[in-house]
Chain A
Amino acid sequence: NAGVMQNPRHLVRRRGQEARLRCSPMKGHSHVYWYRQLPEEGLKFMVYLQKENIIDESGMPKERFSAEFPKEGPSILRIQQVVRGDSAAYFCASSPGLAGAVYEQYFGPGTRLTVT
């Protein structure tokens, strides 16, 4: 059973470009979470999605960031017009139900975004 998959693992973008991060949850999981982690820091919640629905985006910056989890295909975290401050590791996690209720989260390997 494949785990959570994220790609690319490393992404380099120039300031002003767009970054697209992909996450395929574990088989059978319908809940996806995105987190951002700066070096030497903790995990900051960004957004929680179920298929075709954004459930909680309270951690997402209001501008330039968007996320989706379509009926078919992976979840996408999109960052438009990237700035140097967007450089971070972005982790996706999935669970079969609401994480922290009964279920734990399974994390992907992360995408390390570097903005030059």
Chain B
Amino acid sequence: GQQVMQIPQYQHVQEGEDFTTYCNSSTTLSNIQWYKQRPGGHPVFLIQLVKSGEVKKQKRLTFQFGEAKKNSSLHITATQTTDVGTYFCAGRAGSARQLTFGSGTQLTVLP
């Protein structure tokens, strides 16, 4: 079945440093979505990427979808303490009827 892997599993950064999480799928994806889950909270949708090579920005967050539509990345510039949480990618392959979530990257920002 489809597998979606994320690295790293954990990342500690000093406030102001950059952060990147990577998502890799075993199969070609129709699209990819990113979610953020604050500690003790529930996942919240951030963005969806559909096109090969697509890049989208949300303030300090930059999302990329690979040319082969099998990988994606989320980059945060100049992290802030409000960025703390776990970031999940989720992809749907072809005719699959459900999203497969990556294992998540847990970000800690040290003040």
* Chain A residues in the interface with B (C-beta under 8 A): 33, 35, 40-45, 48, 55-56, 58-59, 91, 93, 98-101, 104-110
B contacts with A, residue count (CB < 8 A): 25
Alpha-carbon distance between A98 and B92 when the two chains are bound, in angstroms: 10
Indicate the member of A35, A59, A100 with the most B CB atoms within 10 Å.
A100
Q: Which residue on B lies nearest to A4, using beta carbons?
A: B42
Number of A-B residue pairs, CB cutoff 8 Å, is: 63
The answer to whether the Cβ of B76 comes within 8 Å of any Cβ in the partner chain is no
> Given A41-B103, A42-B103, A42-B104, are A48 and B42 also a contact pair (CB < 8 Å)?
no
Given contacts A33-B98, A48-B98, A109-B42, 4 further A-B contacts (CB under 8 A): A93-B43, A99-B99, A101-B92, A104-B48
> Given A41-B103, A42-B103, A100-B31, are A48 and B45 also a contact pair (CB < 8 Å)?
no
Contact present for B43 and A43 (CB under 8 Å): yes
Q: Which residue on B lies nearest to A92, using beta carbons?
A: B42
